[in-house]
Amino acid sequence: MFAAGRFAVVGVDVVGSASPAMHNAALQAMGLQPTYEARSLMASELPGFLRRASAEGFQGLNVTAPYKTLAYEMAKVCSPVVQAAGAANTWRIGPRGAEAFNTDVDGLWAMLTAYGALSAGQRVVLLGAGGAARAAALVLGQWAEAVLVINRTPAHARALCAAQMLHPENRARWQVLQLQHPGDLVALQEAFTDAALVIDAVGDRGVARCGGHEARLPWRVLDHRAELFDLSYGSAASPLSLWTGRAAFDGATMLLHQGAASFELWTGRAAPLEVMRDALAARLGRPAPSIPMVPSAIGRFEQAGSRG
């Protein structure tokens, strides 16, 4: 029988996070008291908090950017997905200590599936190379033909690509945008012309900066059929939509499904997905049907029994 302890989302500034509303509704649906909170911490405070989490009664944590790499490094046990991504967004805390998982991968797969964007052989532009981008890369590597990674720090993008090229299930070609030669601008233009999908994982939406060089992203050459996904979420227009002047899907569906996968890891029970979806929609001030549900996505990558 599951006995609820404490849960939290941890990040730099998570006061406005929608996760507490979503998870507390799920706990109440199980007949338990809501015990999920938001904890905003500075980088200097996070290691101490993670070390004390078990003693303070926490059974599970969600960790947001930019702390996902540290959550991976400090965990006692890491799932294979976390090891492949080099980042963790979920901790399960028990007798063995902290176990790290990456349910962002489940969430992104669900979001792309819900909107019919998972088609084999597509060309993709991925903005960013942090924790969310690494989760996205694990999904993209299994079905995309080619992925161009654009990041402010090229070394981080190269590390992401190198990790994916070594992954046993990778089928994609990976390329890092460089801006050192005139031909690099041509490659950037061609990548956007051919792209069927653009994923903004907290990248530079307007300008690509690499080292001391920069170039405006050529949004105007995108095919009208190309789909845009912004992994951030909220009630306002997606930042990617504002940059491009086109409709973009935001990360609410990803948030829902990564949260449901985390909930199942913590409780060992099926997540009340519809309850969580309705609470999330109410928190964001939008109709519930605007956040698609994909029950088969929960735990697709991260399973409760996975071990590192």
Q: Are 29 and 55 in contact (CB under 8 A)?
A: no
Residues belonging to the active site: 68
The residues, any chain, with a CB within 8 Å of residue 31's CB and separated by 6 or more, are: none
Supply the DSSP string of 98-135, one letter for each residue: EEEE-THHHHHHHHHHHTT---TT-EEEEE--SHHHHH
Q: What are the Cα distances from residue 168, in Å, to 158, 171, 172?
A: 18, 9, 11
- What is the spatial distance between Cα 230 and Cα 203, in angstroms, rounded to a whole number? 10
| C-alpha torsion angle, residues 194, 167, 268, 279 (rounded to 10) | -20
Do residues 216 and 196 touch, judged by C-beta distance below 8 A? no
Q: CA-to-CA distance for 125 and 192, rounded, in angstroms? A: 7
Rounded-to-integer distance, Cα 107 and Cα 300, Å: 9
Structure tokens at 89: 């967004």
